[in-house]
Structures are given as C-alpha cells and as structure tokens.
Structure 1
Amino acid sequence: MILIVGLIILIAAASIGVVGVFGNMGAEHALGTGGDFSIFGYHVMGSTGSVFLAGIVVGGAALLGLALVMLGVRRSARARRGVRMSRREAAVVDRERDDLINQRDIARAETDGPVSESPGSRRHWFGHRTATR
C-alpha cells in the first residue's frame, strides 16, 4: 500500500515538473517581462521567486514519494527474506526428521531381524496377537 501511494505521488510530481518545463519554453513565457507561467491551465502570475517556491514544493512532494517507494520496497524485501529463511528452516527440520526416521528403521531392523511384508506376518501394536476364541 505504501509502495502504491509513493508511486502515485512520485509520478504526479514528475509529470507536473516535466509539463512545467516543456510547456513553458521560449521568450514568451519569461516571468520578468510580463509573461506568465502555466501548468495544466493554471497561470502563475508573479515573480520568479513564487515559481521557484512552487518548484521546491513539487520537489518535496517528489522526495516524499520516492521515500515512500523505498520504504515499501524495503518492507517487501524483508518479507521475502523472512519467507526464504522459513523455507530453509523447514527444509532443515524435514531433513532432521527423515534422518531420525532412518535411524529408527535401522535400529528396528537390527533388533528385530528382517521383517517380511506378507499379510500374515504383520506386527501388532503390543508385540503379540490376540488369542482366538
């Protein structure tokens, strides 16, 4: 959200600056000789100082937009880094779990001997079969 707001402010300030420069070129737009400065139909009458002040405001808005964009990018990068670290930690836990399962299976095979997979020789939970009645 911060990234989008920052982009909107930055694009608006940049477009105002570009339109102000390219729309007011030439001798007829000189402020000192009775000319005027206009942006999007708004005419600025007065001194070059007032135009300079308006430029400072537009530059400040552009700086604010750029700061918001950088803040949003940093926050997104931090979130991606956290996801990567979580995935790495999950992979380590999975690997350790698989190692423990393999160790358990090896220990069972050493103590019980070979286990056949036939249906009649299935192991029961308590180590013996129930008596038939």
Structure 2
Amino acid sequence: MIIVLGLILLVVAAVVAVAGIFSNTGSGHAVGNAFAVFGHHMTGSTGTLFLFGIIVGAVGMLGLGMLLASARRGAVARRGLRHSRRETAAVSKRRDEVVEQRDTARARAASAADDRDGLAQERDALAEQRDDLARQRDDLAEERDELAGRQGGAGEQTAGTRVAPMPTDYGDSVPRHGHRRPHLLGGRAAGRR
C-alpha cells in the first residue's frame, strides 16, 4: 500500500514539475536581477528557475534517502549485533554447562576408579587372608594326620569313616559339663567355657 501511494505521489510531482517548467518559459516570465545564489545572479525564465529548484530538491531528497538508508542499515546492524550477542551468551552458557557436566563426569569417573582400586586392594587383601587361612588349615590337617598316625598306628580312622565311638583313655563314660562324648582330637570332653 505504501509503495502504491509513493508511486502516485511521484507521478503527481513529475506532472506538476513539467507543467511548471513549460508554462513559465519565455521572455514574459523573466527572472529579475534580485535573485542570486552564492553570489551568482540567475538569469532566464521562472521555468528555468523552477527546473533548478526541482534539481536541488531531487539532490536533497537523494541525500535524505541515503541518510535514512544508512540509519536503517545501522539499526538493522545493531539489532543483528544484539541478536548475535544473545546467541553468543546462550552458546557460552551452554558451553559452560557442558564443561561443568564433563568435569562432573570426570570427577565421578575418578571417584569410581578410586573406589574400584580400593575394592581391588581389599579383594587382594582378602585373597591373601584366604590363602593364609588355607595354609593354616593344611598345616593343621598335616599335624592332625601326624598325631593320628602316632596315636592310631596302622588302624587309622577319621571322623567320616568311623562307625563306632572312638575309644577314650578315660574310664569314665559320663564326661563333665553334660557332654556324653569326648572331644575328637584332644581326647578330652568338650565343654562350654
């Protein structure tokens, strides 16, 4: 709508300019000696003066148009700069969030690695304890076998193969503390302490 209105105004101005120039030509419309621009006296008809006015007006409008276009470009550039700064701030904020998430993930990974290393050390310590206990068990089994070999002679019996109660050195069949049988390895009755 504004373009159509501007085009109509331009056509009307052109018609008025042409009519003003051609209707004021000739010797009957001469410019007097009183008209001067920057010390230069204008001679000719009033139509010529009107043509010079149109040229000066067109140059003025061209300058004004350039000024407004420059201001418009400046406003667009400032708007683009503000938009760019907002985008940069958003990207910077997002980058900071990603860096923070990465640092948190690294800290968690380091903590998990420390926990894993601690558990591995604990596992190794428990394995060493297990191996020590197994050696102690084997040593005790060897001692038991040696003691059983010394005491039993050729007729060696173990708790798993025995079918009758083991003989005791005690003549008393009722042991102390309410137990009915003597301790398997020590030969004495096991009691509560």
Q: Which whole-Å CA distance do the structure 2 matches of 1:107 and 1:59 have between them?
A: 70
Q: Which amino acid aligns with 1:50?
A: T
**Aligned residue identity for 1:75:** R
2:56 match: secondary structure = helix
Q: TM-score, normalised by structure 1?
A: 0.53
In the alignment, residue 69 of structure 1 is paired with which amino acid?
L
Partners in 2 of 1:52 and 1:70 — Cα distance? 26
Question: Match for residue 93 of structure 2?
Answer: 95
Q: Which residue of 1 is the match for residue 8 of structure 2? A: none
Amino acid at match of 1:47: S
Shift of 1:65: 0.6
User: TM-score of the superposition, structure 2-length normalised?
Assistant: 0.38
Partners of 1:46 and 1:92 lie apart in 2 by 68
Q: 1:98 to 1:33 in 2, by over 3 A?
A: closer
CA shift, 1:48, in A, is: 1.8
TM-superposed deviation, 1:97: 1.1
* 5+ residue gaps, structure 1: 1-30, 115-133
Written as runs of structure 1 = structure 2, the 5 A alignment for 1:23-38 is: 34-38=32-36
CA-to-aligned-CA distance 1:27-68 (integer Å, 9 cap, x gap): xxxx76844311111111222222111111110110011111
SS where residue 36 of structure 2 aligns? strand
- Cα separation, 2, equivalents of 1:33 and 1:57: 18
Q: Identify the residue that residue 108 of structure 2 maps to in structure 1.
A: 110
Post-superposition CA distance 1:91-112 (Å, at most 9, x none): 1111111111211222333343
* Alignment match of 2:51 (pick from 26, 50, 53): 53
Structure 2 counterparts to residues 69-88 of structure 1, below 5 A = 69-88=67-86
Gaps of at least 5 residues in structure 2 are 1-28, 113-193
The residue identity in structure 1 corresponding to 2:87 is E
Cα distance in structure 2, aligned partners of 1:69 and 1:108: 57
User: Is the 1:36–1:45 Cα contact (8 Å) retained in structure 2?
Assistant: no
In structure 1, give the amino acid aligned to 2:85.
R
Query: What is the match of residue 65 of structure 1?
Result: 63
CA-to-partner distance for each residue in 1:67-106, whole Å, 9 max, x for gaps?
1111222222222222222222211111111111211222
The number of residue pairs the alignment matches comes to: 84
CA–CA distance in 2 between the matches of 1:34 and 1:58? 20
Do the aligned partners of 1:32 and 1:48 also contact (CA within 8 Å) in 2? Answer: yes
SS of the equivalent of 2:44 reads coil
RMSD: 2.5
Query: Deviation per CA, 1:105-133, whole angstroms, max 9, x where unpaired?
Result: 2233334339xxxxxxxxxxxxxxxxxxx
Take 2:53 and 2:32, find their aligned partners in 1: how far apart are those partners? 20
Query: The residue matched to 1:95 in structure 2 has which SS?
Result: helix
